[in-house]
């Protein structure tokens, strides 16, 4: 007898609201530090305020939302010091994860990373600026997915969404994207041909190289909510 396919539980309105609001934050449609209105979000999503409120509470647990009593609900914001701390934490986790992934199955890691590098080159050539940060994020997540240490995977999730949100706010500059592509290609080449510590060193330098760009993204984003409040 062929087993019946398992039924998937439909997503609740809270689940759907969480997904939509999370995507809007990560993709840069809401500015860092921007005040959010439950009523406006509910109207935009076509649902009541209750699932929106529950979704915002979940997102607060992920660090994407800051709920301030008597003031309101805001998209997360970061100080330059916090950006530095996140990047340092990310460097530690990704470098360790790369060593684990190379020890587990180097060839499988190389295969997936090479495919990502090829897709990012195609997106760059096509001027697909919306896809580029998604593929950039995916490159680093591939390293994490191939890591054999579950604790490193859990640690990465602590900052992954905020890093994705920062990455989406970087300027659309050919030179910056080209430099990123070169770094990714160099990392893959070292993973394929060199000892693990050499690939880890270049990955660490690549992550450090993004620090100033992320600081600039935070500085630029900080002005947007202020401008919106003045215009209100």
| pLDDT tens track for 110-132 | 999 999 999 999 999 998 988 88
Q: Which of 37, 61, 77 is the last residue of a domain?
A: 77
Residues 86 and 162 in one domain: yes
Q: Which domain holds residue 114?
A: 80-220
Domain count, the chain: 2
* pLDDT for res 20: 96
Whether residue 140 is contained in a domain is answered as yes
Q: Which CATH number is 64's domain given?
A: 1.10.10.10
Q: Residue 2 CA to chain centroid, in angstroms?
A: 41
pTM: 0.81
Residues 176 and 157 in one domain: yes
Whether residue 156 is contained in a domain is answered as yes
Backbone phi, psi, residue 171, to 5°: -65, 150
CB-based contact 83:167 (threshold 8 Å): no
Place of tokens 């996140």: 86
CB-based contact 63:74 (threshold 8 Å): no
3-state secondary structure of 7: coil
Residues contacting 49, CB < 8 A, separation 6+: 38, 39, 42
**Residue 6, Cβ density class (10 Å: 0-12 exposed, 13-18 middle, ≥19 buried):** exposed
* pLDDT for res 227: 45
Q: Give the pLDDT mean for 188-217.
A: 93
Residues 113 and 180 in one domain: yes
CB-based contact 5:142 (threshold 8 Å): no
Residues 129 and 194 in one domain: yes
Q: Which CATH number is 139's domain given?
A: 1.20.120.530
How does pLDDT run across 8-55, given as a tens digit for each residue? 567 899 999 999 999 999 988 999 999 999 999 999 999 999 999 999
């Amino acid at each position: 007898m062929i087993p019946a396919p398992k039924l998937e539980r439909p997503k609740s309105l809270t689940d759907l609201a969480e997904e939509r609001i999370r995507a809007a934050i990560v993709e840069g449609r809401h500015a860092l530090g921007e005040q959010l209105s439950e009523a406006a979000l509910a109207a935009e999503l076509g649902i009541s305020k209750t699932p929106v409120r529950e979704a915002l509470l979940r997102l607060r647990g992920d660090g994407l939302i800051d709920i301030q009593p008597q003031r309101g609900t805001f998209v997360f914001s970061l100080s330059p010091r916090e950006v530095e701390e996140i990047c340092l934490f990310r460097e530690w986790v990704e470098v360790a994860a790369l060593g684990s992934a190379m020890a587990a199955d180097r060839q499988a890691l190389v295969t997936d990373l090479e495919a990502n590098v090829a897709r990012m080159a195609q997106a760059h050539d096509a001027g697909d600026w919306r896809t580029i940060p998604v593929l950039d994020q995916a490159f680093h997540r591939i390293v994490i997915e191939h890591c054999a240490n579950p604790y490193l995977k859990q640690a990465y999730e602590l900052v992954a969404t905020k890093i994705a949100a920062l990455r989406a706010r970087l300027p659309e500059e050919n030179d910056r994207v080209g430099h990123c592509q070169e770094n990714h290609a160099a990392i893959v080449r070292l993973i394929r041909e060199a000892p693990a510590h050499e690939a880890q060193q270049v990955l660490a330098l690549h992550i450090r190289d993004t620090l100033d760009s992320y600081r600039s993204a935070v500085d630029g984003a900080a002005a947007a909510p202020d401008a919106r409040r003045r215009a209100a």
